[in-house]
Amino acid sequence: MSTLNLPPLTLANWKDTRDTLHKYCKMAGAIKENLSVPHPHWWHISLRITDKGLSTTPIPKDKNTPGQNFELIFDFINHHIIIESNFREVKRIKLTGQSLSALCEETCSLLKEIGVKTSINKDEFRDGKAGKYDQRAVSNYWIALKEVSSILNSFRSELMGMKSPVQLWPHHFDLAMSWFSGRLIPGKDPNDPESSEEQMMFGFSTGDEMINDAYFYVSAYPVPEKFPNFNMPEDVKWSDDGFTGGVMMYKDFAKSDSPQKKLLDYFRTFQSAGARLMN
């Protein structure tokens, strides 16, 4: 039997809390984007897994004080946003389900207090409606996210060539990594890595408008013409309705006797087939 700790993540049971957390992460991503040097693949806006929760990773305070950094940390153990820096005292904000606008104002105020000036567009975070923040639901999500992150990192370590970090994207609230084939796409501007670099994406979503429960996905850019030309693993389906790629539901993964093997087999099967077609 599995030794992984995989709590149920039925979206209907925690959607209000998930939506609140999603909004909070968008705010953190916006602050990171505002003060970070741009990366071609938008890695400068993503959040990363830490031993406490999610982090922006260190962000430069400003251009005039090299070496001074701060980071926003979502502490899912004690349910705070922590503002840590190497130049001022630690600041904390309790996560209670406060409105996005209230959290944004308090976060920006504390940043200003320690000398960080951010010019994010606050109009994007004017949602004044209080949300739900169920600590147990957040803890369950965090427990599952750590397990999934570990498996994604294990898969990542097997791949040759360029690959992204395992990172959480604030806009879609999915944990994912990308593998790059090393080929440029014919007819695309080679100076624009966003559109010209052939790649595959492997990720985990809590659910969205297309699939209303937690799932794993594999997609490719561009999708090879003969994809999928192989026998897909058990419990994996091909989607071409709004999203093109392979899908495996979290619930099927979690109930497996060997969930790590099940997920790795899924990712490996698709990556191997994609690599053959791309090269």
Domain boundary assignment for the chain = 11-125, 136-278
Over 80: is that where the pLDDT of 279 sits? no
Q: What is the pTM of this model?
A: 0.94
pLDDT in tens, 72-89: 999 999 999 999 999 999
Name 247's bridge partners.
Answer: 217, 237
Residue 189 confidence (pLDDT): 83
Instruction: Specify the DSSP class assigned to residue 163.
Output: B
Cα dihedral 237, 238, 244, 250 in deg (nearest 10): 10
Q: pLDDT tens digit string along 213-254?
A: 999 999 999 998 888 888 999 999 999 888 899 999 999 999
C-alpha to C-alpha distance for 68 and 158, rounded to whole angstroms: 35
C-alpha closest to that of 274 among 197, 205, 179, 176: 179
Query: Is residue 61 exposed (0-12), middle (13-18) or buried (19+ Cβ within 10 Å)?
Result: buried
